[in-house]
Homo-oligomer: A and B are copies of this chain.
Amino acid sequence: MGSDAGLILLSGGLDSATAAAVAIRESSSCHAITFRYGQRHLVELEFARRLVSFFGIKEHIIVDIPVDIFGRTALNPLSGIDIPRKREPDLDRSIPDTYVPARNTLFLAYALAFAESRGIRAIYIGVNSIDYSGYPDCRPEYIAAFERMANLGTRAGVEGRAFSIRAPLISMRKSEIIKLGTELGVDYSLTHSCYDPGEDASSCGECDSCRLRRKGFMDAGIADPTRYAK
């Protein structure tokens, strides 16, 4: 462990898998943190576990967050809100119902506590502000503000062992992310993107996340290993 170790927020999706590959390239050792918060696509946890094994990540913790913290979001199957389908996230810049209140702030806060307690200074998150759903907590100005806050609010930060919140994909197109991951050897069949998967873990093909993923592989000219229902 120590100052060259990295911590990756790993959801089991395409972006976090690619960010993990970057983290592994840049770190002496890697840790991962995954969150269970009542999401509809809980199957992503199984993909996160497969990625941990694929990458040989040394420590992986899964944190439970009570679902009622986040209130009504389409990602909670008990909310009664449907997953938006056939949106055009490229054109429609409103924040969709899949938004989860302060999700990345809570995830990064857990990562920060975990990192400081283990002497880790680099935290990797696979957020993207180009081919994305318009979530405010995926934008560069948010990540910079979190990093600043983190360094004012921690012992390590004020004592000069500053944290860096690394979002290596933040300005990349989805196709560029897929090309980068492919170069770094990511096996995308071990990743999962769909917000509303079938019982057999197949992808719906119609939610924002499926649409962005499918288009990304197409634009990259790389075969998409995903099973889409539609």
Contact = CB atoms under 8 A, between A and B. Distances in A.
A116 interface: yes
Interface of A: 61, 63, 66, 68-72, 95, 99-106, 108-110, 112-114, 116-118, 136-137, 139, 141-142, 145-146, 148-150, 152-159
Given A142-B152, A155-B99, A69 B105 contact: no
Given A137-B154, A152-B139, A66 B69 contact: no
Number of copies of chain A assembled together: 2
Contact of A102 (B61, B153, B158): B153
Contacts of A101: 112-113, 116-117, 154-156
A158 B102 CA distance: 12
Given A69-B113, A70-B117, A113-B70, A145 B149 contact: yes
Given A95-B159, A104-B153, A142-B149, 18 more contacts: A71-B118, A95-B155, A99-B155, A102-B112, A102-B150, A102-B153, A105-B112, A105-B149, A105-B153, A105-B154, A106-B109, A106-B112, A136-B153, A139-B152, A141-B152, A142-B152, A145-B149, A146-B153
A149 to B, nearest CB: 4
A85 to B, nearest CB: 20
Nearest to A99: B155
Most chain B CB within a 10 A radius of its CB, from A95, A102, A106, A112: A102
A153 B142 contact: yes
Nearest to A152: B142
Contacts of A114: 69, 71
A20 B64 CA distance: 28
